[in-house]
Amino acid sequence: MRSSPNVIITGTPGVGKTVHCEQLAQDTGLKHLSVNQIAKERDCFEEFDEERKSWVVDEDKLLDAIEDEVLQGGYLIDWHACDLFPKSWIDLVVVIRCPETSILYDRLSSRGYHEEKLQENLDAEIFGVLSEEAREAFDEEIVVELNSEKDGDVDSNCARIAEWLENWKKQHAEDAE
């Protein structure tokens, strides 16, 4: 039984997943697990996709690489996908959204995304692809959608998630008694 929950912070590239994870790690003591970083450090790639100019992650190798750590609990899992993680590993799925696509467009262009990749990500955000994936992969009651567009959004979202974490810990401490 985990003493700390595992939370996935997911969403389209550019919505603010990493900023949320970094602030939550600082505020709550949970560990920020950047899937992109782990994939690079532990060589969890299948191939390089020339068309998208990005690496394709070997999901089985990735899960094997993080399983021992994640099963201990206390992780903020930062990645643009959530449906590959086993249900038993995850206690909360937070889908960060940026429905104002002009803001998202600016964020992605400043990162140097080429037009095709940029458009693909905008379409995914417009159609709520990652929210849908989260709801299909996990129980509805653990999936939360939060917007990240305005200056105060990260702070208010992190406060809300931190409150959920405290409630989870209290509930699980009571259950253990």
Query: Which residues fall in the annotated binding site?
Result: 14, 16-19, 111, 150
Which of left, alpha, beta for 76 (phi over 0: left; psi -120 to 50: alpha)?
Answer: beta
**Bridge pairing between strands 45-49 and 7-10:** unpaired
Residues in binding site for ATP: 14, 16-19, 111, 150
CA atoms within 13 A on the CB side of 113: 18
Write out the two tokens for 86: 């086993």
Q: Tell me which H or E stretch contains 75.
A: strand 75-78
Name, in order, each residue with C-beta under 8 angstroms of 107's C-beta and a sequence gap of 6 or more. Answer: 14, 98
